[in-house]
Structure 1
Amino acid sequence: MAVTRYPVGKLKKFLSEETDSYDAKIALNIISNVVFMSMIMTIAKSWAGQGQIDMSIFQRYLTLWLRNFGIAFCMQSLIVHPTARFAMRLVHSRQNQCVAVEEAE
């Protein structure tokens, strides 16, 4: 995510407006992160797996990238983001309980 933060930020500014809803911005963020991460991981995985930098990856890049994009999108939409949202919901509910207890005292 750290590597994709800058290009995703630029893409979000280009494609979204201030009047867009929060959900639309989150959806754009998820999709653009998955696109950039799958692009980078397609090249990095091939180079790491072969143990050398081989330019043959670019000959079959499109088919490899489409497969990696599908896998990354399913993982992000079905596992990663719901888990993160659940964890953040727990954190915020506990913070709200602590604030309510402090205000009651």
Structure 2
Amino acid sequence: MEFYMKLPRSKKEFVLFIGVISILSVNIIAPIITCFELGFHLGVWADTLRVIPFIWLSVVALVLLTYRPADWMTGQIVDKDDSFNAHIVVNILCTVFLMSVFLTVIGTWIGSRQISLEPIRLFFYKWPRNFAISFAVEALFSQPIARLVMRKLHEHRDKQPD
């Protein structure tokens, strides 16, 4: 029942679900990671706000590219009969793993406004921190809010007469 109430049932709902998650995540994760990189100053935060739309576009594109591989990875780890929470946590783990690998490089390129080998060279130094921040935000904030939105939407629609 939780799968039915807390997850998208249609393509329109999937767009809403991804929209809620991506907007919340990008507006939290990008400033935190940038401030860890450059320092916690108002100017750093303001500069991050200028590139967030570009980071958001790359996040949406990567979600669409990594959705099926993350779903496949989740299926390899959890059993069909495992709980809703087990499926969700493992899916978040797989999705964040794939997204953080790409965004550790691409996000740096967008944020620094240049393509260089620097994020690739420093990948194994920066990726664990980026993964941990992203996983915490997704698991504790963005995804629970998106699932709450889905549940409220479904409760509202289910109460309406056909």
Amino acid of the structure 2 residue aligned with 1:17: D
Total equivalences in the alignment: 99
Deviation of residue 28 (structure 1)?
Answer: 0.8
Structure 2 contact 74–90 (Cα < 8 Å) conserved: yes
Say whether residues 1:3 and 2:65 are aligned partners: yes
Aligned match of 1:14: 76
Superposition deviation, residue 80 in structure 1: 0.9
* Maintained 8 Å contact 2:96/2:131: yes
Task: Give the superposition deviation at 1:4.
Answer: 1.3
Determine which structure has greater relative contact order: mean sequence separation of CA pairs < 8 Å that are 6+ residues apart, divided by chain length: 2
Whichever of the two has the greater Rg, that structure is: 1
Aligned to 1:76: 138
TM-score by length of 2: 0.54
CA distance in 2, matches of 1:63, 1:12: 26
Percent identical pairs in the alignment equals 26
Following TM superposition, by how much is the alpha carbon of 1:13 offset from its aligned partner in structure 2, in angstroms? 2.6
Aligned pairs (5 A) from 1:34-45: 34-45=96-107
Equivalent residue runs for 1:52-91 within 5 Å: 52=115, 54-91=116-153
Task: Give CA deviations for 1:34-91 in whole Å, capped at 9, x if unaligned.
Answer: 1111111001022232512x22323311221112112211221232112112111211
For residue 23 of structure 1, report the CA deviation from its aligned partner: 2.0
For structure 1, the 5+ residue unaligned runs are: none
1:32 shift after superposition: 0.7
Contact residue 89 and residue 139 of structure 2 kept, 8 A: no
Normalised by the length of structure 1, the TM-score is 0.79
In structure 2, distance between residues paired with 1:2 and 1:94: 28
